[in-house]
Amino acid sequence: MPSQLQRLKNDMAQRLASAILNGFEAMFADFTNVTLGAKARFEKADWPAVQEASSLRIEIYKGKVHSIAELIKGLVGPPIYEPELWVLGKAYYIDILQYHANYEIAETFYNSIYCYVFGHDNINDEHAFVTSSQKPLALEVSQNLYHRYSPGEQVTDLTRDLLDGCLFNARWEDKERDINNIVDAARGPLLRYSPQERSNMQVDVLKSVFYRSKAAYVIGRVVLRENIIPFVLPIMHNSQGELFVDTVIFDRDELSVVFSFTRSFFMVETNDPSSIVDFLKILMPHKARSELYACIGFRKHSKTEFFRDFRRYMGKTEEKFVIAPGIKGMVMSVFTLPSYDFVFKIIKDRFAPPKDMTRDQVKEKYRLVSRHDRVGRMADTHEFSNFEFDKRMISDELLRELYDVAPSLIKDKGEHHLVIDHLYIERKMIPLNIYLQDASDEDIVDVMDEYGNAIKQLAAANIFPGDMLLKNFGVTRHKRVVFYDYDEICPLTDCVFRTIPEPQNEYQEMSGELWYTVGPFDIFPEEFRLFFSGNPKARKAFEERHSDLYNTSYWTSIQDNIRAGQILDVFPYRKRRRFQRAVEKAS
């Protein structure tokens, strides 16, 4: 028979588990309520509200973890810091989660509370959910998740039913034109199959529409026996508030770009996020579940899934961590495993001149990016505290580098354990300067056009990269150019763009010193040419397409647009993919 002390501990553990689950349910409800407004915001074309809701939803999780952790501290008292309580608490939590539809995300919420209480220290499977308590089921998506359209229908009628099924409270610009565009675009993928196969096809469309920025995305699949063709229909507004289908995407690689790690999170109405992820995983089998959870806004659980994938990868590889190839940064030290798809970034203890900032200021830059519309041009990151490595898997050169540049972050835990106090993990890309070294003339033209587009889209989203050196941009496997070095970024509207003054006399003209004053926020676009020193081909390709970036007037006009409330149209696909539409009616 348990002692009175043991009964007291059990009671506290039960209260701890119940409070955490209640906190999770409250967090999920708040998250869902913000998401539920996405349809109305889209129908009204209320783009400022879209941006505000996106930022608000990101903060919900952190705020709820803070409030529930403080509540539990008061509820349990000093025993909250006793590891045994968390062993018991986890056991009770597993019991009450046994039939919970969202047990995966609820486990992550438990982990977040534990990490808050213990400062991200001593995270292990005895006290928290390093591994899940339940085994994942095979990918069998319930038909309650999607509409299935009859294979007997004509493709035109099926497409009309599909668009009607969206139930948008807004007029269409020209629905019949859009239907014809979709049907024409579908002929290519469908003609690969015989008439017999096509007669038996089924079309499944998720009931939940995906909302992001200024577009709504209808996600579905064409099923032809064992074959699956994924598709996405982006729907947008014209200037009169009427709807139109901008394109249709069938290609898996292009679909992957729509769900890229460089874009803001979708708003998706669902009480069962894991089923949405299962459906998407069938459409994009090579995309990790961690990425898919992030895509629909469950960023913390994305981090959990990533960490579990990392542990599995480390259990299979014999590679050692090495310093990442490329020019070393003045603020960050970067390392990786040669065959791994991610890089690890730590902030150095001291920055070489002319860098003049603190570690906290650099962290704030990364927080800015995590909450901003990344417009497909900034990489998302996972931020970790007390991240543990097996010291035997770190190369001698890298180990010397870590102790040399950031000794305050390194903790030797004895035996083979090395802990880094704080780091960022980011998708691996080829640095643009390295990519150009072996690029063909055609690839140079394409990537320089991408580089210019990246700068322009960041600017229109009110982001100035600061240091626009080629080494601070990366090239993805889809040959998109993405910015990933955030220590110099700032809102574009904080910048003062100036033209270099003409010298007033011969002394000023011949002087090696500046004859004019330069403020802390002054930017001289004429100097951007210096970024191409030593690479005349890249400079020529850039200037043929983006020489307007050298003009002060270009930048000040973007600032004027931002201050006037203009929000950029950003397309997660090439412009050539867009359907042709007649010139919009005069308003």
Nearest to 269 by CA among 429, 448, 61, 34: 34
Are the beta carbons of 373 and 51 closer than 8 angstroms? yes
Q: Does residue 458 have a pLDDT over 50?
A: yes
In the chain, pLDDT over 70 holds for what percent of residues? 96
Q: Does residue 139 have a pLDDT over 60?
A: no
Are the beta carbons of 218 and 233 closer than 8 angstroms? yes
Position with higher pLDDT, 506 vs 351: 351
Mean pLDDT for the stretch of residues 135-159: 77
Q: For residue 550, what pLDDT is reported?
A: 94
Q: For residue 355, what pLDDT is reported?
A: 81
Q: What band does 123 get if pLDDT is binned at 50, 70 and 90?
A: confident
Position with higher pLDDT, 477 vs 515: 477
Q: For residue 191, what pLDDT is reported?
A: 79
What phi and psi values does residue 318 have, to the nearest 5 degrees? -115, 10
> Could you identify the residue written with the tokens 């140079």?
444
Spell out the residues 6+ positions from residue 560 whose beta carbon is closer than 8 angstroms to its own.
none
pLDDT digits (tens, 9 = 90+) for 352-380: 888 888 999 999 999 988 888 888 899 98
Residue 415, phi-psi category: left (phi > 0), alpha (psi -120 to 50), beta (remainder)? left
Nearest to 566 by CA among 465, 431, 459, 421: 459
Are the beta carbons of 437 and 396 closer than 8 angstroms? no
Structure tokens at 193: 């199959």
Determine the Cα angle at 471 with ends 397 and 323, to 5°: 10
Residue 312, phi-psi category: left (phi > 0), alpha (psi -120 to 50), beta (remainder)? alpha
Q: What band does 585 get if pLDDT is binned at 50, 70 and 90?
A: very low
Query: What whole-number distance in Å separates Cα of residue 84 and Cα of residue 263?
Result: 42
Query: What whole-number distance in Å separates Cα of residue 82 and Cα of residue 66?
Result: 19
Q: Does residue 505 have a pLDDT over 90?
A: no
pLDDT digits (tens, 9 = 90+) for 299-348: 999 999 999 999 999 999 999 999 999 888 889 999 999 999 999 999 99
Based on the residue annotation, tell me whether 380 is a catalytic residue of this protein. yes
Query: What whole-number distance in Å separates Cα of residue 64 and Cα of residue 113?
Result: 10
The residue from 204, 380, 485, 487 that is catalytic is: 380
Are the beta carbons of 313 and 340 closer than 8 angstroms? yes
Query: What whole-number distance in Å separates Cα of residue 296 and Cα of residue 528?
Result: 37
> Could you identify the residue written with the tokens 């009110």?
462
Q: For residue 121, what pLDDT is reported?
A: 77
Q: Does residue 196 have a pLDDT over 90?
A: no
Peptide bond into 354 cis (omega under 30): yes
| Predicted structure pTM score | 0.91
In the chain, pLDDT over 90 holds for what percent of residues? 66
Residue 522 parent element (H or E): strand 522-523
Query: What whole-number distance in Å separates Cα of residue 361 and Cα of residue 368?
Result: 11
Spell out the residues 6+ positions from residue 458 whose beta carbon is closer than 8 angstroms to its own.
375, 377, 378, 464, 465, 483
Query: What whole-number distance in Å separates Cα of residue 30 and Cα of residue 57?
Result: 8
Residue 495 parent element (H or E): none
What is the maximum alpha-carbon separation in the chain?
98
Structure tokens at 138: 């095979």
User: Could you say which DSSP state residue 281 is in?
Assistant: H
Mean pLDDT for the stretch of residues 405-426: 92
Query: What whole-number distance in Å separates Cα of residue 98 and Cα of residue 483?
Result: 43
Query: What whole-number distance in Å separates Cα of residue 203 and Cα of residue 201?
Result: 7
Number of H helices, E strands in the chain: 19, 18
Bridge partners of 464?
Answer: 490
> Could you identify the residue written with the tokens 């709820």?
64
Amino acid of residue 157: D
Query: What whole-number distance in Å separates Cα of residue 419 and Cα of residue 94?
Result: 29
Count CA atoms closer than 13 A to 103's CA, side-chain side.
Answer: 18
Query: What whole-number distance in Å separates Cα of residue 209 and Cα of residue 306?
Result: 26
Query: What whole-number distance in Å separates Cα of residue 457 and Cα of residue 442?
Result: 23
Q: What band does 153 get if pLDDT is binned at 50, 70 and 90?
A: low
Task: Say whether 310 sits in a helix, a strand or coil.
Answer: helix
Determine the Cα angle at 492 with ends 346 and 569, to 5°: 100
Query: What whole-number distance in Å separates Cα of residue 260 and Cα of residue 229?
Result: 19
Q: What band does 155 get if pLDDT is binned at 50, 70 and 90?
A: confident
CB atoms within 10 A of CB 408: 12
Query: What whole-number distance in Å separates Cα of residue 540 and Cα of residue 443?
Result: 13
> Could you identify the residue written with the tokens 């989660």?
97
pLDDT digits (tens, 9 = 90+) for 225-268: 788 999 999 999 998 999 999 999 999 999 999 999 888 899 99
Peptide bond into 431 cis (omega under 30): no
* 437 CB-contact burial (10 Å; exposed 0-12 / middle 13-18 / buried 19+): exposed
Position with higher pLDDT, 84 vs 3: 84
Q: For residue 264, what pLDDT is reported?
A: 85
